[in-house]
Structure 1
Amino acid sequence: MTGPDDAVPDSAGSSAGPPVRVLICDDHEVLRHGLRTVLRRIPGLSVVAEADCVREALSLAGMVRPDVTLVGLDGQGPLLQDLVRELTGMGIRVVLLGEAGAGSDLVDVLRAGARGYVHTTASPQRLVECVRAVARGETVLDASVTGELLHRLDGAPRTAGGDRAAAHGPLTARQQAVAGLVAEGLTNAEIAARLEVSKATVKGHITVALRRLGLRDRTQLAIHVHRSAGPGSEWGLSPARS
């Protein structure tokens, strides 16, 4: 993440309603300070507590009842999954912050219930957007890992041939829906509004669809959908657009 003194654009500004209560958990004091500095400057966000380890975070969460807990992924150890499960069971949403790629540790923590992942190189604005989106009930994943994470999380079959073989497997129902809307000419923002998900989630589904179908970009995806559309096909194109 960029430095705490970086300006946060007004587009990350205030929102109606009570402030989003945030608990910060990371074993690096400097990082906690930076996160606290960034978040406390944002109208509509309130840092209610800080913890330097998983056990302290869980104890504080029970007392201060945050809306979102921002957890450093690195250095938290095997207890991190337990923390995420406990917080999720309390109705507290979890955002992960780390440098890890889409490895098994990150996948396991997301499966435990975490709702967001932000890379440490993300801008303050991106961090704020993620915290707010997760507080609204959305799932937000950093674009650098979205495609691979969705590929792992949705249980896509993996073969001895590697990713390229898996890339041509069938799409999930949600990926089909997103691809169909791409073919109708909708932007990511319009698709997100139609399906009531975040733009990052839409981008992730498109990334996975492209990988599985062996396509290069959304134009090729739209062409593929139109060519494949027909009676009984999975593509839900509107009659007027198909």
Structure 2
Amino acid sequence: MGGPDQDVVGSAVAGSGSSVRVLVCDDHEVLRHGLRTVLRRAPDLTVVAEAADVDEALSLAATVRPDVALLGLETRGPGVQDLVRTMSAKGIRVVLLGEACVGSDAVEALKAGARGYVHVAISPQLLIEYVRAVARGETVLDPSVTGELLSQLDGDRSGDGDGPVHNALTARQQTVAGLVAEGLSNAEIAARLQVSRATVKGHITVALRRLNLRDRTQLAIHVHRAARPGEGPGGLPVEG
């Protein structure tokens, strides 16, 4: 990025107007520095501000108007869910940063409007790809935590974990499953749907879990079986 590197906790950073504007919020200075260093590698991403707690993040968000906010779940201050809700209402897309063990705070923050969950040990290139995807309006879930997140979310919606609500796919998940059945790779599906490969992978992971399948081969077989005459229109159950 243009301009010298600097510690920007509690302050804004000048950035390109055409860049995706990112706010980083975490109470660990080393993590903030690492995130800033990684995001600086992408010419289309600009860290416009950093915050060490919830109150500071809210104040800065109102000033610098970021497109995406990376929010550490361990950030000090009450009301992380309220922060997510407030930012989402202002059009700021929030991505949560957390550990592999998903707690209730993450689930509540996702319900409040967060657009993704990323493991703090994510690779630099994948983090950049996820931020770009969220800026485009997509939702991202780190594969390492997707299963646990879905288990908790499904548990909130369905007491016994079975039945059509648990197994239903969204229309987009059904589309992705159909393209898997056609033999397309993740990269080909991403190009067809004009989304990131990370988003495609997330849809497939969700579909496999909801349909209790092991891999994409089983998913393809399931789609073909569901499409046989007499199986009903659309084949796969769709979430209403």
Tell me the TM-score normalized by structure 2.
Answer: 0.79
Do residues 202 (structure 1) and 162 (structure 2) align?
Answer: no
Q: Matched residues in 2 for 1:95 and 1:169: separation?
A: 25
The residue number in structure 2 matching 1:182 is 180
Aligned residue runs from structure 1 range 77-116, under 5 A: 78-116=78-116
Distance 1:52 1:190, change over 3 A: same
The residue number in structure 2 matching 1:211 is 209
Q: Matched residues in 1 for 2:134 and 2:79: separation?
A: 22
Q: Report deviation, 1:100.
A: 4.7
Q: Matched residues in 2 for 1:209 and 1:72: separation?
A: 27
Do residues 46 (structure 1) and 41 (structure 2) align?
Answer: no
Q: Matched residues in 1 for 2:194 and 2:222: separation?
A: 25
Which ranges of structure 2 fall in alignment gaps of 5 or more residues?
Answer: 1-15
SS at match of 1:223: helix
Q: What CA deviation, in whole Å up to 9, does each residue of 1:142-193 have, x standing for no partner?
A: 111123434544665242xxx6x57995322333332222112122233334
Do residues 143 (structure 1) and 174 (structure 2) align?
Answer: no
Q: Percent identity?
A: 70
Q: Matched residues in 1 for 2:152 and 2:174: separation?
A: 17
Aligned residue runs from structure 1 range 111-122, under 5 A: 111-122=111-122
Distance 1:41 1:209, change over 3 A: closer
Note if contact 2:186-2:201 (Cα within 8 Å) is conserved in structure 1.
yes
Distance 1:149 1:185, change over 3 A: same
Higher deviation after alignment, 166-175 or 180-189: 166-175
Q: What CA deviation, in whole Å up to 9, does each residue of 1:89-126 have, x standing for no partner?
A: 11111111121533322111111111122111111111
Q: Report deviation, 1:53.
A: 0.4
Do residues 171 (structure 1) and 175 (structure 2) align?
Answer: no
Note if contact 2:158-2:165 (Cα within 8 Å) is conserved in structure 1.
no
Note if contact 2:80-2:109 (Cα within 8 Å) is conserved in structure 1.
yes
Q: Report deviation, 1:196.
A: 4.3
Distance 1:212 1:158, change over 3 A: farther
Higher deviation after alignment, 130-139 or 175-184: 175-184
Note if contact 2:99-2:119 (Cα within 8 Å) is conserved in structure 1.
yes
Count, aligned residues = 217
Distance 1:150 1:192, change over 3 A: farther
Identify the match of residue 226 of structure 1 among 224, 227, 232: 224
Q: Matched residues in 2 for 1:69 and 1:40: separation?
A: 15
Distance 1:63 1:152, change over 3 A: same
Distance 1:197 1:103, change over 3 A: farther
Do residues 127 (structure 1) and 127 (structure 2) align?
Answer: yes
Task: State the one-letter code of the partner of 2:219.
Answer: L
Task: State the one-letter code of the partner of 1:142.
Answer: D
Q: Matched residues in 2 for 1:41 and 1:193: separation?
A: 24
Q: Matched residues in 1 for 2:143 and 2:45: separation?
A: 24
Q: Report deviation, 1:70.
A: 1.2
Q: Report deviation, 1:200.
A: 2.6
